[in-house]
């Protein structure tokens, strides 16, 4: 399958999704067919999102989240329901050895990556929620996705306005208001079909959707943010019921503390943020309990800069560095790893948007760490190192100028190219079977609908 056939398939799939959106609009009614937050606030998508499409937030979008999703333009009831779908085509530079999932080929795959239903909105002045339930097309599975339930209040202390909040969520970092931490970082959409490095830090998603955290935060004068939280893992029965049973070695043992602090400053046309974070999980580390655990310490720093101006030209820079110290007591006891390892991850991205409609983003990423001939036995160098770049261009034609479907119907059309200079420890022959890092380079075209 090459480009002419590819564009034909994308057009057909996109046309069908647009028809679905039109049917929903005509059947449900104007207010009910619109993204819940946009209806509630009375704001166009570009008021809260860079590029007029989520999840990249503007200062107003961050304030809305930290206020517990309770900001409202009036007193009328708005139905807190929205829907989203992402469909994409993926082509890798070289066919993979085996199909990445059942019912897919070794290359040139079209997939419904996800289709989600959201229950999202504020209830009164103190309670709000962002609750997502998703059908994952690649794995043909249903489950809960992002969960962020909030209770908020505000006080004036020493002449400073302070927002106090409590977040109950299911993934460390998903409650964060900046687009630097992995939960909301670039690239904002991806597919499970793409070849991916075998090693990530725990904070990059190892426990996503399989834990429940209670996080308390304070937002001082819209400038200083402090947060402490504690994550635990529900029963296996509960996780299976919500479609999120963890891989056995990644079972969380006990409770995992989480700490976050950041400083933000807003100016008329620009804003910046610098922050720190820490996460301390203990994982089972093996398929069976050994009475020992693998203990992790994720420490990191992040920063972002955003220039909005008058909306004609928008620039943003995000950066994050994470250092993970690993005490692998369970894995080393079973002769599956070194007693201790170090893993580092650095990512930085720069984006530009013209009139909140057409934009581009470039990201550089670098993951490196200790050599471990047991843990990374499948890597020819026994190292976890992976480096590369992600390039994306996208357009959001209706985020500022709505269609006849209503001003809250939105769609993003985009193209991503991921380039690896190193993959799972090496540039060439990284797996010992002749596959090179560049063989995993991938082109992805996507359509992302919200209604």
CB 296 within 8 A of CB 202: yes
What does the DSSP assignment read for 375-403?
Answer: TTTTSTTS---EEEEEEEEEE-TTTTS-B
* Residue indicated by tokens 């139905």: 79
| HSE, side-chain direction, 13 A CA sphere, residue 144 | 21
Q: What percent of the chain has pLDDT over 70?
A: 90
Helices (DSSP H) in 102-200: which residue ranges? none
Q: Which domain holds residue 34?
A: 3-450
pLDDT (tens digit per residue) in 215-255: 999 999 999 999 999 999 999 999 999 999 878 899 999 99
- Cα separation of 34 and 399, whole Å? 12
Write out the two tokens for 114: 């996800």
pLDDT (tens digit per residue) in 251-300: 999 999 999 999 999 998 999 999 999 999 999 999 888 999 999 999 99
**How high is the pLDDT of residue 289?**
85
CATH no. for residue 277?
A: 2.40.160.10
**How high is the pLDDT of residue 451?**
83
In a 3-state reduction of DSSP, which class is residue 314?
A: strand
**How high is the pLDDT of residue 335?**
95
In a 3-state reduction of DSSP, which class is residue 306?
A: strand
pLDDT (tens digit per residue) in 146-178: 999 999 999 999 889 999 999 999 999 999 999
Residue closest to 152 by CA, chosen among 231, 218, 57, 213: 218
- Cα separation of 121 and 126, whole Å? 11
- Res. 4: pLDDT tops 60: no
CB 292 within 8 A of CB 312: no
**How high is the pLDDT of residue 399?**
65
Q: What are the backbone dihedrals phi and psi of residue 183, each rounded to the nearest 5 degrees, phi first?
A: -60, -35
**Count: domains in the chain:** 1
In a 3-state reduction of DSSP, which class is residue 2?
A: coil
- Res. 43: pLDDT tops 90: no
CB 232 within 8 A of CB 207: no
Name the residue with higher pLDDT: 180 or 450.
180
pLDDT (tens digit per residue) in 364-399: 999 999 999 999 999 999 999 999 999 999 999 876
- Res. 6: pLDDT tops 90: no
**Which of the residue ranges 118-127, 323-332, 337-346 would you say has the lowest mean pLDDT?**
118-127
In a 3-state reduction of DSSP, which class is residue 45?
A: helix
- Res. 17: pLDDT tops 80: no
Write out the two tokens for 431: 């797996």
- Cα separation of 200 and 198, whole Å? 7
pLDDT (tens digit per residue) in 413-426: 999 999 999 999 99
In a 3-state reduction of DSSP, which class is residue 231?
A: strand
**pTM, 2 dp:** 0.91
């Amino acid at each position: 399958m090459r480009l002419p056939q590819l564009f034909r398939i994308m057009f057909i799939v996109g046309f069908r999704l647009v028809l679905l959106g039109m049917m929903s609009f005509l059947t449900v009614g104007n207010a009910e067919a619109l993204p819940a937050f946009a209806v509630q606030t009375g704001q166009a998508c570009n008021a809260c999102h860079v590029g007029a499409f989520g999840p990249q937030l503007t200062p107003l979008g961050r304030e809305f989240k930290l206020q517990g999703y309770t900001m409202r333009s009036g007193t009328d009831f708005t139905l807190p329901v929205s829907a989203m779908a992402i469909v994409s085509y993926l082509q890798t530079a070289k066919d993979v050895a085996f199909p990445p999932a059942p019912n897919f080929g070794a290359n040139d795959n079209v997939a419904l990556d996800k289709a989600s239903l959201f229950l999202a909105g504020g209830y009164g002045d103190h309670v709000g929620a962002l609750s997502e339930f998703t059908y994952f097309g690649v794995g043909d599975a249903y489950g809960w996705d992002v969960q962020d339930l909030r209770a908020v209040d505000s006080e004036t202390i020493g002449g400073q306005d302070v927002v106090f909040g409590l977040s109950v969520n299911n993934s460390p970092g998903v409650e964060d208001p900046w687009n630097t931490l992995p939960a909301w970082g670039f690239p904002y959409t991806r597919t499970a079909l793409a070849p991916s490095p075998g090693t990530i830090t725990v904070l990059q998603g190892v426990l996503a959707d399989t834990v429940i955290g209670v996080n308390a935060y304070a937002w001082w004068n819209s400038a200083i943010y402090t947060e402490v939280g504690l994550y635990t893992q529900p029963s296996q029965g509960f996780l299976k019921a919500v479609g999120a049973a963890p891989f056995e070695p990644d079972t969380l043992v006990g409770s995992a503390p989480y700490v976050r602090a950041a400083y933000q400053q807003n100016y008329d046309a620009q804003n910046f943020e610098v922050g720190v974070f820490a996460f301390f999980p203990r994982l089972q580390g093996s398929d069976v309990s050994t009475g020992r655990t693998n203990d992790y310490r994720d420490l990191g720093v992040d920063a972002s800069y955003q220039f909005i101006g008058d909306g004609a030209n928008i620039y943003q820079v995000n950066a994050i560095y994470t250092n993970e110290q690993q005490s692998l007591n369970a894995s080393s006891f079973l002769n599956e790893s070194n007693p201790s390892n170090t893993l580092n991850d650095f990512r930085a991205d720069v984006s530009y948007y013209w009139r909140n409609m057409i934009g581009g983003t470039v990201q550089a990423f670098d993951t490196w760490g200790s050599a471990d001939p047991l843990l990374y036995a499948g890597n020819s160098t026994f190292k976890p190192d992976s480096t590369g770049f992600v390039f994306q261009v996208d357009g959001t034609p209706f985020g500022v100028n709505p269609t006849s479907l209503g001003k809250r119907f939105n769609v993003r059309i985009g193209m991503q190219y991921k380039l690896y200079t190193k993959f799972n420890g090496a540039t060439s022959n990284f797996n010992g079977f002749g596959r090179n890092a560049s063989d995993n380079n991938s082109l992805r075209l996507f359509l992302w609908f919200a209604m």
